[in-house]
Amino acid sequence: MTISELQTAIQDLVQQLTAEAPGVDVRTKYLGKKGLFNQLARVLPSLAPEDRKTAGQLINEVRTQLEATVLEREKTVGASTNWVDVTMPGKKPAVGHVHPISQAMAEITRIFEKVGFTRVRYPEVDWDWYVFESLNMPPDHPARDEWETFFVDVPDTTKPVEYDANNPRKRHPSLVGGKMVLTTHTSNGQVREMERLNSTPPIRMINIARCYRRQQDATHTQMFHQFEGLVVDKGITIQHLKGTLDYFAREFYGPGTKSRIRPFHFQFTEPSFEVDFSCHICMGTGKVGENKCKFCKSGWHEVGGAGMVHPNVLKAGGIDPEEYTGFAFGWGVERTYTLKPGLHIDDIRLLYSGDMRFLEQF
């Protein structure tokens, strides 16, 4: 390199520095160990010996000049890229939240615990005995067809069991074996709860669990949740059932919501009912002004089933139906939740789509 080439290189460097954008860390880039200045200084040995003195002076001068320029810049633009604009809005860390169905289950639990129910949960893969047979549905009973059941392929391990008064579970030989199914409803908790309490009422159970059925459309998913209430005590009547349903309707959907029961049939309750809740849009009238209510069409939403516990079910749980009576009800958490005022979720499959744009709204 010649002296004049060095001079051009120095001029270029100085110009380059003055043209740097505000965000650039010029101190490191120009004056750092591997910076542009040190790179330039490295040409010294390649100069002709008689030029080296002049070149050394030039290089020293440019170092002073670069430092002054960098200092000046730091005063106006801020030091390097590490400067912080304290007036800039912060970045919120992404925080997850409880899934809407978990929120609904927590609310349902709270509502029933307030009036003395105990939240329980039972296996999701259960013996046919608890899901059907103990509920007054013997093998091959046609009523079983209503539940689109997933059967589990496990060997039948039925063994005869001695009667043991201290262990009521052993009262039923089929308890320790038989077919297994994915629970089609939370009613499998009924006899299990009677056994848990050693067949000794009072029983006030709220069982919330996953259920499985072979069905999938806008209002059904193969996996869903149900909640099941069971009350057994002396002198329990339909009035207690109706009062409990009205209480839940008010608490979950808001004051003014009513429940309605219509005659129906289940093997495990007698009498049996279907349960409706009044529509919060038309307040049970079915009309909005002159028009039909679009949300419910009839003033009511059907939600699920209920009834007075069948004597055979009490017997299966070791309870004397002459002494005790009870009521039970059960239905889907998803359906109950999507009817809440203001939600208007018309496809419950969205709840399990994992689509954050949907879930983040709740």
Question: In angstroms, what is the minimal distance from the CB of 140 to ligand PHE?
Answer: 19
Tokens read off for 215: 């069905």
**Inter-residue contact 237 to 335 (CB < 8 Å):** no
Q: Which residues contact ligand PHE by CB under 6 A?
A: 185, 187, 228, 266, 269, 304-307, 328-330
Question: In angstroms, what is the minimal distance from the CB of 103 to ligand PHE?
Answer: 22
Query: Closest CB to ligand PHE among 280 and 301?
Result: 301
d(CA 35, CA 47): 21
Query: Closest CB to ligand PHE among 201 and 305?
Result: 305
The continuous run of DSSP H or E covering 276 comes out as strand 269-278
Query: Closest CB to ligand PHE among 226 and 293?
Result: 226
Question: In angstroms, what is the minimal distance from the CB of 139 to ligand PHE?
Answer: 18
Query: Closest CB to ligand PHE among 299 and 307?
Result: 307
Helix extents (H) in the chain: 3-18, 26, 36-41, 52-77, 100-113, 128-131, 188-196, 238-253, 311-316, 333-338, 356-359
Question: In angstroms, what is the minimal distance from the CB of 226 to ligand PHE?
Answer: 6
3-state secondary structure 290-332: CEECCCCCCCEEEEEEEEEECHHHHHHCCCCCCCCEEEEEEEE
Question: In angstroms, what is the minimal distance from the CB of 256 to ligand PHE?
Answer: 26
The continuous run of DSSP H or E covering 231 comes out as strand 223-233
Question: In angstroms, what is the minimal distance from the CB of 234 to ligand PHE?
Answer: 20
Query: Closest CB to ligand PHE among 107 and 270?
Result: 270
Query: Closest CB to ligand PHE among 186 and 199?
Result: 186
> Can you list the pairs that 114-117 forms with residues at least 24 positions away whose Cβ atoms lie under 8 Å?
114/251, 115/244, 115/247, 116/204, 117/204, 117/205, 117/206, 117/229
